[in-house]
Amino acid sequence: MTESLFLTSDDVTDLATPADYVDAVREGYRQRGEGASAQPRSKFFRNDPEGLFTSYAAVLPDTGAMGGYMYSAGFGAGDAWFMTPLFDAESGAPLALLDGASMNPHKTGAAGAVAVDELARSDSETLAVIGSGAQARGQLRATATVREFTEVRVYSTTPENREEFAADFDADLAADVRAVDSSRAAVSGADVVITATKATEPVFDGDDLEPGTHVTAMGQYSPDKRELDSTTVERATYVPDLRERATFDSGEFMQALEEGAVTEDDIHAELGEIVAGGTPGRTSDDEITVFDSGGTGIETVAAAYMLYERASEEGRGKTLEFAPASEALTGD
């Protein structure tokens, strides 16, 4: 038998800061840029009851861990559950099983922050956030660790939500955080734009982007849904989390491709290739850049292993036992 650690969301909630997540995820993407294995998610749908079951995985050899996400959303309960299995990349033995819900906005936000650090201008001061939910909050917390913003504008379609979001972060950040009443008011003149919504159609007009803007889009991962219009994708240096995902489930890129605004040659590089130094990121102050984040096992494994190590040091969690196949597969 092999002992593994089971960690609840409460076990890991206070184990790491946003900057800690960013450091771990940056290291994960470096490994991907040097050849670590990762693939886009698999998605399975059911209509009655309506729901989505999805999974994705990665192997991070330098970290010494592999694993990913499996989660369900919708179905009869109308809720979501996130499970993160983690394995030792050397022995293959199970290390841990995490309830991945509480870390989700942090690890996803960290991926966006790594992209901002690599692709946004170093003098970026104004940030636009479109969306006001948990993912938007995770993006802002992480991104605020890589740039010193003086102004943050938030827009979402529900006035009460954007006002609450702005009030919460205005108290927490050194920047002036305020709600605005349109996506144009958020985006115009912004140095960095983050979209974290459930929208199925573009949430701003790409012509409103100033030269030199960086955009992180992370709210959609479906061919028929997108947060960015074709104008934005066409104007930008386009960087996905995984190259394969751009033509698999990125509505942003696939719809721009279908409209003839871009070709597959317009995929500049994966984020990991830039982090690892194999491909340059931004090359001029006037360049518009886009990071298309759909969620991968890279940030999931990197974050989960960091939490596993810290929980182990602090004696958190419960022990589970797994039988290796040599013992459990009896053939009877």
Q: Does residue 66 fall inside a structural domain?
A: yes
pTM of the model: 0.95
Residue 288 and residue 314 share a domain: no
Residue 301 and residue 280 share a domain: no
What is the arithmetic mean of pLDDT over 2-27? 96
Residue 124 and residue 73 share a domain: no
Domain count, the chain: 2
Residue 59 and residue 207 share a domain: no
Predicted local distance difference test score (pLDDT) of residue 327 = 85
Residue 249 and residue 221 share a domain: yes
What is the arithmetic mean of pLDDT over 174-201? 96
Q: Which CATH number goes with the domain that contains 87?
A: 3.30.1780.10
Q: Does residue 110 fall inside a structural domain?
A: no
Binned at pLDDT 50, 70 and 90, residue 331 comes out as low
Q: Does residue 112 fall inside a structural domain?
A: no
| Residue range 141-184, pLDDT digits in tens | 999 999 999 999 999 999 999 999 999 999 899 999 999 999 99
Residue 131 and residue 56 share a domain: no
Residue 188 and residue 231 share a domain: yes
Nearest CA among 193, 186, 183 for reference residue 236: 193
* Three-state secondary structure string covering the chain: CEEEEEECHHHHCCCCCHHHHHHHHHHHHHHHHCCCCECCCEEEEEECCEEEEEEEEEEECCCCEEEEEEEEEECCCCEEEEEEEEEECCCCCEEEEEECCCCHHHHHHHHHHHHHHHHCCCCCCEEEEECCCHHHHHHHHHHCCCCCCCEEEEECCCHHHHHHHHHHHHHHCCCEEEECCCHHHHHCCCCEEEECCCCCCCCCCHHHCCCCCEEEECCCCCCCCCCCCHHHHHHEEEEECCHHHHCCCCHHHHHHHHCCCCCHHHECCCHHHHHCCCCCCCCCCCCEEEEECCCCHHHHHHHHHHHHHHHHHHCCCEEEEECCHHHHCCCC
Residue 316 and residue 265 share a domain: no
Residue 124 and residue 81 share a domain: no
Residue 305 and residue 280 share a domain: no
Q: Does residue 111 fall inside a structural domain?
A: no
Residue 142 and residue 83 share a domain: no
Q: Which domain holds residue 63?
A: 2-104+297-328
Q: Does residue 134 fall inside a structural domain?
A: yes
Q: In the predicted model, what is the mean pLDDT of the chain? A: 95
